Amino acid sequence: MSSIDLKPIIGKDDEASSLQRVLEEAPGYSMRIMGHPPGPAEAQSTFTILPPNMGYEDKFVFGIYLSGRMIGCVDLIRGYPDRKTAMLGLLLLSEKFQGKGYGRLAYQKVEEIVSNWAGIGKIRIGIVGTNDHILTFWKKMGFVDAGVRKPYSYDKLKSETFVFEKIISSKKSRCTMRVNLTKALVEEKFATKKLTVEDAAFIGKLMEQAYRGTIDDDGETLDQFIAEARATLSGKYGRFVSDASFWIEDNGKAISATLVTLWKDEPLLAFSITDPDYQRKGFASFLIRKTMKAMADLGYSYLDLGVTLGNPAKFLYEKLGFEVLSKVTSSMTDEEFLRAFEDCTISKNQWKHKDHLRMAWLYLKAEQNFESALQKIRIGIQRLNLSHGNDHGYHETVTQVFAIYILDTILNSDPKETFDDFSTANPWLYDGINPFRKRHYSDALWKSEEARHGFVSADILELPNPRKKL
């Protein structure tokens, strides 16, 4: 796949005509959100439309270019709806370029731009219900449901807008994972070869196939991937361990591989890569198990790897016994704990009820606004759940009920209270959700989809309202 460029456009005649062409080459989008094909002035509207109380100094329109030709566009507002948020109003490709990975590459460039804006820590998007087939794409990009629904209308078209958000940082977040090794036998399900320096071209081509269009795709060319493979096999990340590095070949090409080095004398699975056409067929898990057995036979007791947060391969590593290397949450300072929570480096095994309470208590204690704290709690839980492979466990009403009770407790406590003080003084909060549920909600309402996906008011006993005390 060729790389793309994101270039700012300001409405010059050639830019406007190219943008108009792109919009007309994506009629399905216009039909879904406006109810009719794009009109002759769509490009002009894209350049001029602004949210309330915003100026053009914070509006940025970009063309997405492939080989010098505009194939898509981006509309981005800095500092909306608040000064810490960027609103991505539009990311659109001509229909013939959709479904080919260019959207992912374009979004990665958008995030890179936003991450360099001072004070911006979040990107927000709005998805119209009639265009909800794109939800899967945005979830893969790391966006989570913010729990906000707004009515939407355009001419005769009526729907609603779903608000999704993503917390961003100035660089990709990665975590280190480790597995303790045993000499367990591995069934030889596939024929393998040991990797050597001479195999660099095969591995470089496999890297291109495996990384293209993923969260780890930084737009490298095939030559760059081959150079990276050759450098790794030659010691870039420590001494290459050929006896524990393997690849599988099919029809004259590499389809899956593991590559182990000794990074600062620590055993590292530097690469585990599989051609997308051969994924979910057992090749990767087989090779990793074979590599683990080989390292155990060489006398090593553990094996580390690094993974970008948001890479679905993390779920496979967890199934194979790898765990995130991090301090136990109870030994973290409050700052370390929140950073680990926001970076999704708290492992599933460590994420307990007490950690939920601590996270919510810290946000509610620090924020001056309940809704602002709730938004951080909501988005953070969903992001961490997704990093653990759980995309359906979040419950909006549970989250809000706990937040309400925690805030009520904070407002009736000493302002200098620590979380340990809070825990000691409020042991009833550690009894789980059932006492709250039975006190305030009927079973039917509590178990409803409405309660899971949005907050519902209690139907037995009214909840406290600590917001009145703020």
Express each pLDDT in 44-103 by its tens digit: 999 999 999 888 888 999 999 999 999 999 999 999 998 889 999 999 999 999 999 899
Per-residue pLDDT at 470: 58
Domain residue ranges in the chain: 5-167, 174-324, 329-469
Written out in words, the top-level CATH class of the domain with range 5-167 is alpha beta
Buried b (16+ CB within 10 A) or exposed e, 38-62: beeebbeebbeeeeeeeeeebbbbb
pLDDT category, 254, cuts 50, 70, 90?
Answer: very high
| CA–CA dist 216, 197 (Å, integer) | 24
Predicted confidence (pLDDT) per residue in 434-457, tens digit: 777 888 999 999 989 888 888 899
Q: Please report, for residues 239, 277, 282, the alpha-carbon distance to residue 195 in angstroms, rounded to integers and kept in the order given.
A: 13, 21, 19
| Fold assignment, 174-324 | Aminopeptidase (3.40.630)
Q: How confident is the model at residue 468 (pLDDT cuts 50, 70, 90)?
A: low
| Common-topology check for domains 5-167 and 174-324 | yes
pLDDT recorded at residue 449: 86
Global confidence as pTM: 0.49
Total length of the chain? 470
Q: Cα separation of 5 and 102, whole Å?
A: 10
What pLDDT, in 10s, does the model give residues 396-406? 899 999 999 99
* pLDDT over 70 at 171, yes or no: no
pLDDT tens sequence across 13-45: 899 999 999 999 999 999 999 999 999 999 999
**pLDDT confidence of residue 310:** 64
- How does residue 169 score in pLDDT terms, banded at 50, 70 and 90? low
Q: Which CA distances in Å does 107 have to 115, 138, 210, 328?
A: 12, 10, 19, 34
The answer to whether residue 206 scores a pLDDT higher than 80 is: yes
Tell whether the model's pLDDT for residue 346 goes beyond 60: yes
